[in-house]
């Protein structure tokens, strides 16, 4: 199997093409290898969220293709895409990540239930993951009783629970204080290393950018710089 | 799917006030639906009972031609064959043999078209309780000759008092005009004022000679049974024993009463439909609110890979839970009200008693509803609620995850 997880070729996306067109993504091509830990940076409005939505199959480009392990997800039907996301892509959003009426444990379990994973495996994975993100003692607590940082850690655990090809995180630290932000990055970096999980996260926080091993810069929907593919296993 | 049910159940407690609004509207919907249906059903049943116990009885026996043409010549002989059959057939409570003529009643002031009924007073009373309906004067007695009793409405119209003289005119057996003078002995009043208006009663022994009939000749034998439920079997038994006559049940004799009942039940259907529409409107609104308030969360679940079908099921299940919480309460409220009013009676004479009496309804109603109809209403309410959930659920399904998460 090729080491290239994502191969995005010449993506274009224009919002409101009929009224006030906004070219959010303008000819972006991008490759990601397994095990990368990459930051997508750029000023607000530069197209980071749009690009992540395209890569995650939440939105379709006007042109271009996105091959994920060789499958062009831009060609999938809406229904196939839902299933594809469930089994292949992990999401961490900026906020409103968790189902409010489910506990931390149930939130992580939720995605595996959607995947029809058996009870024994579910329970074991939930416990392992929540321990890994340092929330072993908060398993039965609902999101409203967790801090912002803790909620994002549950979201990380959930993203990992579905065993995705890669995890997309759109400004995961935007609502966090610097301590929680660095703590979250520690956990993501640790999982990247231990599980060889590919992470792509957008941010405009300099301290977060410093943690990335690859930095892709977007300006006005174009990639203006890319520190390039770095060998996946750091020294 | 279990997790969807869990989320749905917990979701309904996130905004208890809103959920309570739906539950209460379901309770009210069921309560009103069953109550209105029971009111109409009870009215219909009352009407049947009135008609059977006071007017037509369960079964009637005639000359085969009589009901086609009410001519005096189509009489039957009230002989041993009939009497024996009536005596030996089970579940017969009473019967009355009548000779009848369509004719005119004339007083000093004016005249009116009526049906003259020549009866045996005691038998008539045990069959239609006519004696109990006398409000002034006396029932037909054995003493004085040429007594007549008339309805209150008719007496008013014709300015008849006790002891007023009237003349009855009609066509006799040989198609000649015949007449007889009678004296008002009593005035009766039943629950059906138009019936009161159209019937007068004299003794058969006095009427028959005027019509040119023997004293044992009659036009109608009305048979009262011990229960409403054995009409069909008893009718069949009598038919077999009396093949030369026409034996009919009340449903054949008075199809208009059946019509009234079906009009009543369509009226209650209209009410129930209105109630269901109101319920549906409320559910659509509130569930739509619940969906629009949670677009981010629903969008997030769709983004993660929850299928649209499951999102749909989630919204419908929430509605279903609310219905299930409201149903038992609403049913009990409806059942309780109906039973209470059934036992104590529901007096609406103040509002509409007069006009209903004209149609032959009592002014005190006994709302009643067979269990099967409760079931029907529950099923209707559940279906309505679930159908109403479709629109909000489709809204939820149509959410664009990329858009909702961004906002
Ligand atoms: N749904 C939308 N409709 C119209 N314009 C949009 C929409 N979403 C994003 N945009 C525009 O596209 C551009 C890129 O937005 P976005 O991808 O959210 O940038 P970033 O995440 O880097 O802030 C911006 O100019 C934004 O205003
Ligand atoms: Mg953004």
Is B50's pLDDT higher than 90?
Answer: no
Query: Is the beta carbon of A64 within 6 A of some atom in ligand 1?
Result: no
The minimum-distance atom of ligand 1 relative to the CA of A16 is 4
Contacts 24+ apart (CB under 8 A), A22-30: A23/A220, A23/A221, A24/A50, A24/A221, A25/A50, A25/A51, A25/A54, A25/A61, A25/A221, A26/A220, A26/A221, A26/A222, A27/A222, A28/A64, A28/A218, A28/A221, A28/A222, A28/A223, A29/A64, A29/A223, A30/A6, A30/A216, A30/A223, A30/A226
The nearest alpha carbon in chain A to B13 belongs to A101
**Furthest C-alpha separation in chain B:** 100
Predicted confidence at residue B199, as pLDDT, reads 94
Q: For residue A129, give Cα distances in angstroms to A107, A114, B180, B230.
A: 12, 17, 107, 74
The minimum-distance atom of ligand 1 relative to the CA of A47 is 17
Closest ligand, as measured to the CA of A218: 1
Predicted confidence at residue A235, as pLDDT, reads 39
- Residue B79 has φ and ψ, to the nearest 5°, of -105, -170
Predicted confidence at residue A232, as pLDDT, reads 45
Cβ of residue A99 closer than 8 Å to a chain B Cβ? yes
From CA A172, how far away is CA A182, in angstroms rounded?
A: 11
- Residue B178 has φ and ψ, to the nearest 5°, of -135, 155
Query: Is the beta carbon of A45 within 6 A of some atom in ligand 1?
Result: yes
Q: Which residue has the tokens 């969807």?
A: B4
From CA B93, how far away is CA B247, in angstroms rounded?
A: 17
B303 contacts in chain A (CB < 8 Å) = 56, 58, 85, 91, 93
For residue A126 the two structure tokens come to 């939930």
Query: Do the domain assignments include residue A171?
Result: yes
Give the three-class secondary structure for B114: strand
DSSP string for residues in A28-57: EEEEEETT-EEEEE-STTSSHHHHHHHHTT
In sequence order, which residues have a C-beta less than 8 Å from that of residue B269 and are 6 or more positions away?
none
The share of chain B scoring above pLDDT 70, in percent, equals 96
Q: pLDDT higher for B257 or B70? A: B70
Query: Do the domain assignments include residue A206?
Result: yes
Q: pLDDT higher for B277 or B263? A: B277
Tell me how many domains chain A contains: 1
* Candidate from A59, A106, A114 with C-beta closest to B305: A114
For residue B143 the two structure tokens come to 């003493």
From CA B100, how far away is CA B97, in angstroms rounded?
A: 10
Predicted confidence at residue B357, as pLDDT, reads 64
H-assigned helices in A10-133: 48-55, 78-88, 104-114, 119-132
The tens digit of pLDDT for each residue in A6-49 reads 999 999 999 998 999 999 999 999 999 999 999 999 999 999 99
Closest ligand, as measured to the CA of A48: 1
Residue A231 pLDDT level (bands cut at 50, 70, 90): very low
Closest ligand, as measured to the CA of A45: 1
What is the distance, to the nearest Å, from the Cα of residue B405 to the centroid of all Cα atoms in its chain? 59
Is A1's pLDDT higher than 60?
Answer: no
Ligand 1: residue of A17, A48, A50, A220 to mutate (most ligand atoms within 8 A of CB) is A50
Q: In this complex, do B3 and A106 lie within 8 Å of one another by their Cβ atoms?
A: yes
Q: For residue B70, give Cα distances in angstroms to B64, B168, B202, B214, B376.
A: 11, 17, 18, 18, 44
Predicted confidence at residue A87, as pLDDT, reads 95
Q: In this complex, do B301 and A96 lie within 8 Å of one another by their Cβ atoms?
A: no
* pLDDT averaged over every residue in chain A: 92
- Residue B213 has φ and ψ, to the nearest 5°, of -110, 155
In the β-sheet with A71-72, what is the strand arrangement from edge to edge?
Answer: A22-33, A4-15, A63-68, A71-72
* Candidate from B2, B6, B401 with C-beta closest to A58: B401
Query: Do the domain assignments include residue A220?
Result: yes
Closest ligand, as measured to the CA of A20: 1
- Residue A65 has φ and ψ, to the nearest 5°, of -135, 155
For atom 18 of ligand 1, which residue has the closest CA?
A: A49
Q: Where are the domains of chain B?
A: 2-51+258-406, 64-244
Rounded average pLDDT over B229-249: 92
Residue B360 pLDDT level (bands cut at 50, 70, 90): low
Q: pLDDT higher for B364 or A165? A: A165
* pLDDT averaged over every residue in chain B: 89
* Residue A179 belongs to domain spanning: 36-59+77-226
Query: Is the beta carbon of A44 within 6 A of some atom in ligand 1?
Result: yes
The tens digit of pLDDT for each residue in B98-110 reads 999 999 999 988 8
Q: In this complex, do A59 and B402 lie within 8 Å of one another by their Cβ atoms?
A: yes
Q: For residue B231, give Cα distances in angstroms to A9, B129, B247.
A: 85, 20, 11
For residue A220 the two structure tokens come to 């006005």
**Is the CB of residue B96 less than 8 Å from the CB of residue B178?**
no
For residue A39 the two structure tokens come to 């930051």
CATH number at residue A139: 3.40.50.300
Query: Do the domain assignments include residue A72?
Result: no
Residue B259 pLDDT level (bands cut at 50, 70, 90): confident
The tens digit of pLDDT for each residue in B154-213 reads 999 999 999 999 999 999 988 899 999 999 999 999 888 888 999 999 999 999 999 999
From CA A113, how far away is CA A130, in angstroms rounded?
A: 16
Residue B266 pLDDT level (bands cut at 50, 70, 90): confident
Predicted confidence at residue B354, as pLDDT, reads 62
Is B355's pLDDT higher than 70?
Answer: no
Reduced DSSP (H G I as helix, E B as strand, rest coil) percent helix, strand, coil of chain A, to 5: 35, 25, 35
- Least-confidence region, from A118-127, B12-21, B33-42, B315-324: B33-42
For atom 3 of ligand 1, which residue has the closest CA?
A: A15
Question: Half-sphere exposure of B215 toward its Cβ, with a 13 Å CA cutoff?
Answer: 4
The tens digit of pLDDT for each residue in A133-177 reads 999 999 999 999 999 999 999 999 999 999 999 999 999 998 899
**H or E segment and range at residue B358:** helix B349-358
Q: How far is the CA of A40 from the centre of ligand 1 (A)?
A: 15
For atom 7 of ligand 1, which residue has the closest CA?
A: A15
Task: Give the closest-approach CA distance of A106 to chain B in angstroms.
Answer: 9
Interface of B with A in 305-324 (CB under 8 A): 305-308, 310
Predicted confidence at residue B179, as pLDDT, reads 93
The minimum-distance atom of ligand 1 relative to the CA of A218 is 22
Enter the pTM of the model: 0.77
In sequence order, which residues have a C-beta less than 8 Å from that of residue A66 and are 6 or more positions away?
A6, A7, A8, A9, A11, A54, A55, A57, A72, A73, A74
* Candidate from B7, B302, B406 with C-beta closest to A99: B7
How many residues are recorded in chain B?
407
* Candidate from A53, A82, A106 with C-beta closest to B402: A53
Residue A95: count of CB within 10 angstroms of its CB = 17
Query: Do the domain assignments include residue A235?
Result: no
The minimum-distance atom of ligand 1 relative to the CA of A170 is 21
The tens digit of pLDDT for each residue in A73-89 reads 999 998 999 999 999 99
Q: pLDDT higher for B316 or B255? A: B316
For residue A54 the two structure tokens come to 């395209």
A83 contacts in chain B (CB < 8 Å) = 305, 307
Is B358's pLDDT higher than 90?
Answer: no
Query: Is the beta carbon of A150 within 6 A of some atom in ligand 1?
Result: no
Is B12's pLDDT higher than 50?
Answer: yes
Rounded average pLDDT over B327-332: 90
The minimum-distance atom of ligand 1 relative to the CA of A221 is 14
Rounded average pLDDT over B218-224: 95
Residue B395: count of CB within 10 angstroms of its CB = 17
Query: Is the beta carbon of A198 within 6 A of some atom in ligand 1?
Result: no
The share of chain A scoring above pLDDT 70, in percent, equals 96
Q: Which of A25, A74, A93, A170 would best serve as a mutation to test chain B binding (most B beta carbons within 10 A)?
A: A93
């Amino acid at each position: 199997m090729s080491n290239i997880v994502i191969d995005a070729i010449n993506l274009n996306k224009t919002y409101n093409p009929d009224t006030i067109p906004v070219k959010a993504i303008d000819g972006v091509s991008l490759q990601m290898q397994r095990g990368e830990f990459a930051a997508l940076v750029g000023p607000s409005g530069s197209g980071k969220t749009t690009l992540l939505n395209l890569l995650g199959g939440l939105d379709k480009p006007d042109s271009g293709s996105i091959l994920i392990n060789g499958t062009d997800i831009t060609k999938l039907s809406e229904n196939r895409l839902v299933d594809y996301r469930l089994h292949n892509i992990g999401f961490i959003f900026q906020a409103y990540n968790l189902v409010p009426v489910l506990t931390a444990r149930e939130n992580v379990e939720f995605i595996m239930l959607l995947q029809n994973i058996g009870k024994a495996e579910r329970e074991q994975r939930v416990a392992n993951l929540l321990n890994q993100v340092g929330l072993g003692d908060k398993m039965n607590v609902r999101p409203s009783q967790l801090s912002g940082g803790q909620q994002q850690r549950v979201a990380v655990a959930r993203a990992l629970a579905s065993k995705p090809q890669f995890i997309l995180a759109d400004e995961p630290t935007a609502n966090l204080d610097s301590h929680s932000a660095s703590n979250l990055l520690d956990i993501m970096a640790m999982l990247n290393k231990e599980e060889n999980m590919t992470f792509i996260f957008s941010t405009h926080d300099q301290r977060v950018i410093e943690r990335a091993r690859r930095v892709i810069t977007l300006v006005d929907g174009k990639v203006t710089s890319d520190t390039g593919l770095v060998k996946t296993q750091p020294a | 799917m279990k997790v969807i049910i869990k989320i749905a159940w917990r979701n309904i407690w996130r905004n208890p006030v809103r959920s309570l609004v739906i539950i209460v509207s379901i309770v009210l919907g069921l309560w009103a639906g069953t109550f209105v249906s029971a009111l109409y059903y009870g009215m219909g049943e009352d009407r049947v009972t009135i008609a059977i116990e006071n007017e037509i009885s369960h079964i009637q026996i005639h000359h085969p031609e009589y009901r086609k043409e009410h001519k005096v010549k189509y009489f039957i002989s009230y002989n041993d064959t009939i009497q024996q059959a009536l005596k030996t057939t089970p579940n017969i409570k009473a019967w009355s043999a009548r000779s009848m003529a369509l004719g005119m009643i004339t007083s000093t002031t004016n005249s009116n078209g009526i049906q003259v009924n020549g009866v045996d007073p005691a038998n008539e009373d045990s069959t239609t309780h006519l004696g109990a309906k006398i409000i002034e004067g006396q029932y037909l007695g054995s003493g004085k000759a040429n007594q007549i009793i008339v309805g209150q409405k008719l007496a008013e119209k014709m300015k008849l008092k006790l002891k007023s003289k009237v003349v009855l005119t009609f066509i006799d057996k040989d198609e000649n005009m015949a007449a007889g003078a009678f004296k008002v002995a009593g005035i009766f009043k039943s629950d059906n004022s138009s019936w009161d208006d159209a019937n007068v009663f004299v003794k058969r022994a006095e009427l028959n000679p005027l019509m040119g009939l023997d004293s044992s000749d009659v036009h109608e034998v009305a048979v009262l049974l011990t229960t409403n439920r054995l009409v069909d079997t008893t009718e069949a038994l009598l038919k077999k024993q009396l093949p030369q006559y026409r034996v009919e049940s009340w449903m054949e004799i008075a199809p208009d009463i059946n019509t009234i009942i079906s009009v009543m039940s369509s009226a209650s259907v209209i009410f129930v439909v209105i109630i269901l529409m109101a319920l549906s409107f409320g559910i659509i609104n509130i569930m739509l609110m619940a969906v629009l308030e949670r677009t981010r969360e629903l969008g997030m679940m769709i983004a993660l890979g929850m299928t649209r079908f499951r999102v749909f099921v989630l919204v419908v299940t929430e509605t279903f839970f609310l219905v299930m919480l409201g149903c038992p309460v609403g049913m009990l409220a409806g059942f309780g009200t109906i039973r209470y009013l059934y036992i104590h009676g529901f007096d609406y004479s103040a509002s509409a008693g007069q006009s209903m009496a004209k149609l032959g309804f009592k002014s005190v109603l006994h709302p009643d509803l067979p269990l099967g109809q409760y079931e029907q209403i529950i099923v209707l309410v559940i279906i309505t609620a679930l159908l109403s959930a479709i629109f909000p659920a489709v809204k939820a399904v149509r959410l664009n995850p990329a858009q909702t998460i961004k906002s």
